[in-house]
Structure 1
Amino acid sequence: MWLFLLLFVGAPLVELYFLIQVGSVIGALPTIALSVLTAMIGGALVRMQGLHVLLRVRQAMDRGEAPALELMDGAVLLVTGFLLLLPGFITDIAGFLLLIPPLRRALILRYVRVEALGAGRDDDDLGGGPRPRIIDADWRRED
């Protein structure tokens, strides 16, 4: 609950504060122009990287592999595009940082690693006791 309050109330207030501060130094029209310029540049960069991710998804599917990481990369690029379209300098900084492919890949791998470990959750906390261990394999019986 506090996270949503911080995200939807705190973040816009911080953005507004920085917009006012920058506007008082360089003026209102240059601040608006800078915000529009970062949105345009960011949109073009997201489109270019999105096409590259789409190509990687296609190549992985042609090889018969599941393009899981590539699809997650595309999802992060979608969030990046949204951040860059929002007016404000903090969201622009976060968006431009997410446009750096090694940083984006490290963030995705970190998320996958945390989710694979269960983020410190105990299966007993979820109710119903521990889940059975499932091993997916091909087998055949030899007599």
Structure 2
Amino acid sequence: MRAFLFLLLLFPVLELFVFFQVGTAIGFFPALLLIIAGSALGALIMRLAGLATALSARQSLQRGEMPGAQMLNGMMLTLGGGLLLVPGFISDVLGLLCLLPFTRHRLASMLQRRAEEQAQRQRAFAGDAPAPGEPPRHRPEVIEGEYERRDN
């Protein structure tokens, strides 16, 4: 937790340092225009990615499929757009990595694999769930009916 807090506090300092370096190399106003253009691009991508994800998820649900892959892809697009929206060059580079198809698919497959491993770990510790590879257990047969209590 302390490492995360340290990185969270260090990130703006690194962003300012990189902005200063880029501003020194190409000038202040071109660097500022790059930051503003990146933020505008991020806002546009977030808007389009959200709409495209919602439409593809709805189509998958209409076909009777679970939209897991589309949702994960949309999440990566939204994360990339959000990182572009944050002012700074480091966040823009990370956002572009989330937007490029080959890195996006690789990150999405890594996240999906970790989520599946986590789900298997949770299932292994569940009391009534069968372990992976074990056949499902049968529940006791329930007979529905009505009853009447008669006290003598």
TM-score range, shorter chain: 0.7 to 0.9
- SS of 2:21 mapped into structure 1: helix
Amino acid at match of 1:83: L
What residue number does 1:67 align with? 67
Relative to structure 1, is the Cα distance of residues 93 and 136 closer, same or farther in structure 2, using a 3 angstrom cutoff?
farther
Relative to structure 1, is the Cα distance of residues 84 and 5 closer, same or farther in structure 2, using a 3 angstrom cutoff?
same
Cα offset for 1:116?
A: 2.0
What residue number does 1:40 align with? 40
What residue number does 1:131 align with? 126
CA distance in 2, matches of 1:6, 1:95: 21
**Deviating more after overlay: 71-80 vs 7-16:** 71-80
- SS of 1:47 mapped into structure 2: helix
Amino acid at match of 2:126: R
What's the CA shift string for 1:105-132, capped at 9, x where partnerless? Answer: 321221121232239x977xxxxx9434
CA distance in 1, matches of 2:51, 2:101: 13
Conserved in 2, the CA contact under 8 Å of 1:42 and 1:96? Answer: no
**Deviating more after overlay: 33-42 vs 14-23:** 33-42
Conserved in 1, the CA contact under 8 Å of 2:49 and 2:78? Answer: no
What residue number does 1:58 align with? 58
CA distance in 2, matches of 1:57, 1:83: 23
Amino acid at match of 1:131: A
What residue number does 1:3 align with? 3
Relative to structure 1, is the Cα distance of residues 137 and 45 closer, same or farther in structure 2, using a 3 angstrom cutoff?
farther
Bigger Rg over Cα: 2
> What TM-score does the superposition give when structure 2 sets the normalisation length?
0.71
Larger RCO (CA under 8 A, 6+ residues apart): 1
Conserved in 1, the CA contact under 8 Å of 2:45 and 2:78? Answer: no
> What TM-score does the superposition give when structure 1 sets the normalisation length?
0.75
Structure 2 gaps of 5+ residues are 142-152
